[in-house]
Amino acid sequence: MNTLPTNGERPADGTPLLDVSELTVHHGQLRALDRVSLQVFPGEVYAIIGANGAGKSTLLRTIAGLHRPTEGAIWFDGQDVTRVRPERRAARGIAMVPEGRRLFESLTVEENLQVGATYARKGPWTIERVYEMFGWMAERRSQRAAQLSGGEQQAVAIGRALVANPRMLLLDELSLGLAPVVVQRIYGMLPQILATGLTVLLVEQDVSQALRVASHLQCLLEGRTTLEGRPSDVTAEQVEAAYFGLARAGHEGQRESDSLCSGSTTSSRGS
């Protein structure tokens, strides 16, 4: 069940904050994303799930401007940002917490937060407010990031993104490498973050965690969308089939033998 304060309904005006259309991305000869589309509406927690190599991080990095797409378009707040540089996207309101946190380990906690404020927009988030949300952080502001635990580093990475006062927060694998109790503590901060008007696009391997927090869900497999919808509208069997490719295997088997019945369905854009 969704534990965040949302009813799962999308805005009446139907205007997405982020609109990704038919996005294809290559890493050399490898096609990492294949015609992926999604729309994220203001106030949503939109979760992208999938196994390793599904293309989840590539999708977030492309939205942030760190990869150039081969085809497709990215629109943010009604403007085409497909070819806009990463720092300009940050100035327009897109901030990312990358996989593995990527802090400057030789810098202090406060210096890392100051880095996040480089392209800050006007808004409610300041370094002092981050200290208020993470009660331990103010006392350790002069400590080097390398001396922090994994969970503490993740908190600093989130704070670094927040002080930019983004409209959309891209969260890449928040739970990776962290103890379950730490993951719960970090995800417990999401309602406070959303209350300031932020929209969240979340990449997560932990399907159960994603289902708990998301208002909308999309599954990737080998760079393609295999499932999309609200968590309340999909079954555990559909999620499992989409995650592991069982739906695709069943569909291909049906075409080959012409005698099998599809045991599961996946939702697609426009269905």
Residue 168 is assigned to a structural domain of this protein: yes
User: CATH code at 199?
Assistant: 3.40.50.300
Q: Higher-confidence residue: 248 or 80?
A: 80
Lowest mean pLDDT among 7-16, 23-32, 101-110, 140-149: 7-16
The model's pTM is 0.82
Interval 44-65: pLDDT, tens: 999 999 998 999 999 999 999 9
Cβ neighbour number for residue 108 with a 10 Å cutoff: 17
The pLDDT value recorded for residue 228 is 96
Interacting residues of 96 by C-beta distance below 8 A, sequence separation 6+? 60, 61, 64, 161, 169, 170, 171, 172
pLDDT at residue 67 is higher than 60 = yes
Residue 2 is assigned to a structural domain of this protein: no
DSSP of 217-254 = EEEEETTEEEEEE-GGGS-HHHHHHHHHTHHHHHHHHH
Residue 266 is assigned to a structural domain of this protein: no
Interval 202-229: pLDDT, tens: 998 889 889 999 999 999 999 999 999 9
Region 115-119: what's the mean pLDDT? 85
User: How many structural domains compose the chain?
Assistant: 1
Q: Higher-confidence residue: 131 or 181?
A: 131
Range of the domain at 240: 18-257
Interacting residues of 9 by C-beta distance below 8 A, sequence separation 6+? none
d(C-alpha 189, C-alpha 203), whole Å: 16
Report the mean per-residue pLDDT for the chain: 85
